[in-house]
């Protein structure tokens, strides 16, 4: 008669062990997978919080500047991006800042951020948040602030002065029932800080700031008759044909309007 190996596992024990391992794997993958329902809910909540804080701060700033944001985009200024950011500081709980001309901004923003398709976007006009040696009148600059809740706010300026007011970003025109080109400031927000995925439309969102309004990127009323910016915003998360490198930023308004992330 064969002696039974007391160290062997029974079939029942193996099945139970596999079930436990499978459950743990599911929980672990769910925790770290980009786009999981729980994470998406956090991103949506972060986008709503950021939008509320930006709108509140913008209204306070306007109240102290004749009802407009126009003063923050002069015809020429080497410090315009820093000035734009600094105007918001009294209304945000900031723990760290990186100025426009900082040799390295990776202390304040992820070095590896991408669009919704996973394409690297550094070096692209208007969205290169980390570029240090930039010119406000051309490709644009960002000054960054880290908030005490871990969110990253990048304040970006481009094309200051009269051309800015006439040709870029958006101002609501009641007679048109739409936003027409009017200003040149926008704010990128990474709602979960340095944590991955650091992706446009997932945890990074963009809010335009015009003379009088805060406009989430992808607002269905956005138009740009000059042809310089997005015309009627492409459906999120469709690739923007004019500038595919910014795909996903146009999801900002959809996330706020829908209150969920289904893409």
| Percent of residues, the chain, with pLDDT higher than 90 | 36
In the block, tokens 């945000």 appear at 92
What is the tens place of the pLDDT at every residue in 128-177? Answer: 788 765 544 444 678 999 999 999 999 988 655 555 554 455 666 666 66
User: d(Cα 200, Cα 190) in Å, to the nearest integer?
Assistant: 9
Q: Could you check whether the bond before residue 197 is cis, i.e. omega within 30 degrees of 0?
A: yes
Residue 21 or residue 207, greater confidence: 207
Domain segments of the chain as ranges: 45-258
pLDDT for 53: 98
Is the Cβ–Cβ distance between 185 and 156 less than 8 Å?
Answer: yes
Which residues have CB under 8 Å from 27's CB, separation 6+?
none
Long-range Cβ pairs for the range 206-209 (8 Å, 24+): 206/249, 206/252, 207/50, 207/51, 207/54, 207/252, 208/169, 208/170, 208/183, 209/54, 209/58, 209/69, 209/169, 209/183, 209/185
Is the Cβ–Cβ distance between 216 and 254 less than 8 Å?
Answer: no
**Torsions phi, psi for 142 (to 5 deg):** -125, 135
Radius of gyration of the chain (CA): 23
**Does 198 have pLDDT greater than 60?**
yes
What is the tens place of the pLDDT at every residue in 52-107? Answer: 999 999 999 999 999 988 887 765 667 778 888 999 999 999 999 998 876 678 89
């Amino acid at each position: 008669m064969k002696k039974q190996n007391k160290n062997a596992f029974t079939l029942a024990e193996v099945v139970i062990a596999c079930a436990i391992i499978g459950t743990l794997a599911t929980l672990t993958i769910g925790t770290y997978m980009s786009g999981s329902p729980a994470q998406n809910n956090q991103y949506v909540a972060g986008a709503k919080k950021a939008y509320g804080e930006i709108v509140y701060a913008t209204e306070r700033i306007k109240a102290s500047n004749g009802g407009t944001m126009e003063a923050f985009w002069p015809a020429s200024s080497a410090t315009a991006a820093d000035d734009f950011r600094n105007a918001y500081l009294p209304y945000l709980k900031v723990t760290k800042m990186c100025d426009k001309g900082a040799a390295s901004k990776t202390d304040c923003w992820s070095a590896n951020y991408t669009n919704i398709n996973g394409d690297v976007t550094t070096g692209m006009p208007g969205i290169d948040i980390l570029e240090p040696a930039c010119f406000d009148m051309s490709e644009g600059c960002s000054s960054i602030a880290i908030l005490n809740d871990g969110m990253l706010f990048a304040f970006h300026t481009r094309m200051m002065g009269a051309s800015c007011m006439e040709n870029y970003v958006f101002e609501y025109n009641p007679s048109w029932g739409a936003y027409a080109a009017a200003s040149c400031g926008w704010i990128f927000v990474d709602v979960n800080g340095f944590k991955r995925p650091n992706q446009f439309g997932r945890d990074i969102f963009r809010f335009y700031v015009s003379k009088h309004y805060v406009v989430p990127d992808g607002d269905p009323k956005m138009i740009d008759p000059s042809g310089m910016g997005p015309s009627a915003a492409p459906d999120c998360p469709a690739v923007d044909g004019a500038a595919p490198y910014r795909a996903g930023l146009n999801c900002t308004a959809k996330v706020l309007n829908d209150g969920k992330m289904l893409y």
